[in-house]
Amino acid sequence: MATTTTKITISLIVLLIFYNCKKTNGEADKNISPSIKVTDTVIAISDTVLSKKDLEEFKKEVINKGDNYSFNRLAIHYIENSNYKELHKYSLIMANKYNKGDGYSQAFEDIVAMNNNNTYEDISDFAKINEKAKNEALKYLKKGASLNDINCMSKLQEIYRNGIGVEKDVKKADELKKKMEKM
């Protein structure tokens, strides 16, 4: 199982790929120039150059097309600003309207954060929230896992394996692990 540092590194690489990916015309988005700060335990991507125009465009792309690039840009922006309530609107659109795993995974994190002083550090925060919120968050994680979203499956596997906020269930964790290994 990957360590937290490995997971953070992989997440950073994925985010950097999104920054450098072609948008629609084959050129990188020139008005976004993130700065990256790496410490012993935290990797932060500064998003202060995101203009209101870009923000509105990303929102439209999520609402009208379920665009993953735009959703990830919004997620970076709202997480950096600890605005999970606003991000949750777009997570639900990606999940419920477009049936996208990223939306389900982010909806889980949003619910945890909104019920944990607007903070999501890692999966252990799930154990800190109330039962109603846990049930709601798990609903999104399970749906994403049923769509074979690797992030949802990985989080759910970790929750079951370690009994984080739920009764420990190694059998379910092993089933998810085997399913992920076959992917």
pTM of the model: 0.75
**In contact, 35 and 46? CB cutoff 8 Å:** yes
| H helices, E strands: number in the chain | 8, 2
Give the residue ranges of the chain where pLDDT is below 70.
Answer: 1-49
Q: What is the pLDDT, as a whole number, of residue 3? A: 52
Q: What is the pLDDT, as a whole number, of residue 149? A: 97
Q: What is the pLDDT, as a whole number, of residue 50? A: 79
If we measure between CA atoms, which residue out of 75, 19, 69, 76 comes closest to residue 44?
76
For residue 3, what are its two tokens? 């360590």
Q: What is the pLDDT, as a whole number, of residue 27? A: 40
What are 47-74's pLDDT values in tens digits? 456 789 999 999 999 999 999 999 999 9
Q: How many residues does the chain have?
A: 183
Q: What is the pLDDT, as a whole number, of residue 49? A: 60
